Structure 1
């Protein structure tokens, strides 16, 4: 049985179809004082062998909702509870940056671990966050899915990662697409406010470019990089990422920079959700 968090209903439905498992009825309510109540009024739930909760923790409310769904499954005496985090909130707060700060990803991982037997998380920004779960979580790499929505007729394509450390992501998308070259952006800081962003080596003139990333939040760095590509005579520029947060005016920034299209997955459901991660998640279930 598949149980959906309110932020992951489309992906949960896709996963139910992929696994040929039923999709549970779930209610999401809020009391007048602001407190949440997520419940599973499904008569087939009691004593089920396995329930898979699919819930992107995109907000503090989503975290609470997930804990409530897990607890409801325990209360129904489900034999095995599996938690799928398509997008794990707080995953980038994976270390102490200043004295007195918590390791937030560890804190939320411990809370989630208390109500589940197994955890999967899709393309975390740092795979090491999986070790914060008890027992550890499994990271599902969805980067290969990013090639699917791309046009089939890209001109001599170049796949660019945001930095040298993420070149594996660009290579994975290129390999899934079946053609092209890979490169990465270099950032040269000339002053506190002057940062030069350029592709490291490859010639992009007249070539289509696919900029790959795991997460796009504000789009500021990405839009600057795309603008540089425009100055170098690039063909069409496509942006593809696993987790398209696109907060505030990120979409507009990228469009103004000259991006032809933005493709994301359904780990975060929205207008850029061009491909589902359900098939790759299903392989781990």
Structure 2
């Protein structure tokens, strides 16, 4: 196999190549004076081509680089082409919320497949079901739960892992199991008279606990900050915020720390000051599993 790295790999391509013991090749890239992007595959792949690139801002540029690279490899490769996209942008627009809207993630996935993609590995996709709905090639969505739990082992004495809502419970459960902790999800309640919003765990008490709130994406940080304030107000010993994808816009980090969050931790799918956990081991395991499916 040959692992190809685009600039937006953020170091994950190199780690994956080392995990798998494969060759690493850097794609050539430039931007023309009018802003158009250009990529080139400098050498022919040996066996399966594994293309690694995340899609953090600017998302449109990253998407085009990925798309052009798949097309270039499809004319070059004799084996399969697998894309590893640690952060798949546009994934939150996974249905038509309003009439006239596109299903953006469908357009992204269908475009990659149409240009010759043989398989896809993503990390902590917002709605993993879209892979089955919009791709006909093999795909795997990996959760870096083991790596996240490993970061906190020995750093928290009485942990409780919380999901921000019921839909994210599986993520919290997976982290909690690796950490040997209890888990729950948060529910939101609005006072009909005052309009005040309260957020609290569905079943478990947080008093005296080192609470770890786990989500897939932190964007503006508003939801996480509100959850932290409420959990601390209920007697939690400390609160740590964890996400896979640290998009962090509109002063998100300031909001989180001002809310009383002790530490913010993210993976390296998106480069950020809080990216302390690598998804490379999870990606390597996912790649091995995908390759077994494709045999």
TM-score, reference length from structure 1: 0.92
The match for 2:33 is 32
Deviations 1:140-179 (A, max 9, x none): 222332112115141321111101232221111111112x
Q: Could you tell me which residue of structure 1 aligns to residue 146 of structure 2? A: 144
Aligned match of 1:174: 176
Q: Quick one: structure 1 residues 34 and 163, their matched pair in 2 at CA, closer, same or farther if it must change by over 3 Å?
A: same
1:186 pairs with 2:184: no
Q: Which runs of 5+ in 1 are unaligned?
A: none
1-structure distance, mates of 2:126, 2:118: 23
Shift of 1:20: 1.2
Residues of 1 paired with 2:219 and 2:45: CA distance?
Answer: 41
Alpha-carbon distance in 2 for matches of 1:3, 1:85: 12
RMSD, aligned α-carbons: 1.8
Task: Show the counterpart of 1:4.
Answer: 5
* Aligned residues of 1:123 and 1:143 also touching (Cα < 8 A): no
Q: What SS does structure 1 have at the residue aligned with 2:8?
A: coil
State the aligned residue count: 281
**How far 1:279 sits from its partner (Å)?**
1.3
3-state SS, counterpart of residue 148 of structure 1: helix
C-alpha distance 279-168 of structure 1, shift in aligned 2 (>3 A) = same
Q: What residue is the counterpart of 2:276 in the other structure?
A: 274
Q: Which of 219-228 and 273-282 deviates more?
A: 273-282
1:63 paired with 2:63, answer yes
Q: Aligned equivalents of 2:27 and 2:167: distance in 1? A: 40
Contact 1:149 1:263 (8 Å CA) reproduced: no
Moved more, 14-23 or 198-207: 198-207
214 and 175 in structure 1: CA distance in 2 versus 1, 3 angstrom threshold: same
Task: Structure 2 unaligned segments of length 5 or more: list them.
Answer: 288-295
Shift of 1:47: 5.1
Deviation at 1:237, TM superposition (A): 1.2
Kept after mapping to 1: 8 A contact 2:94/2:130: yes
TM-score of the aligned structures, taking structure 2 as reference length: 0.89
Give the drift of 1:25.
Answer: 2.2
Contact 2:160 2:210 in 1 (8 A): yes
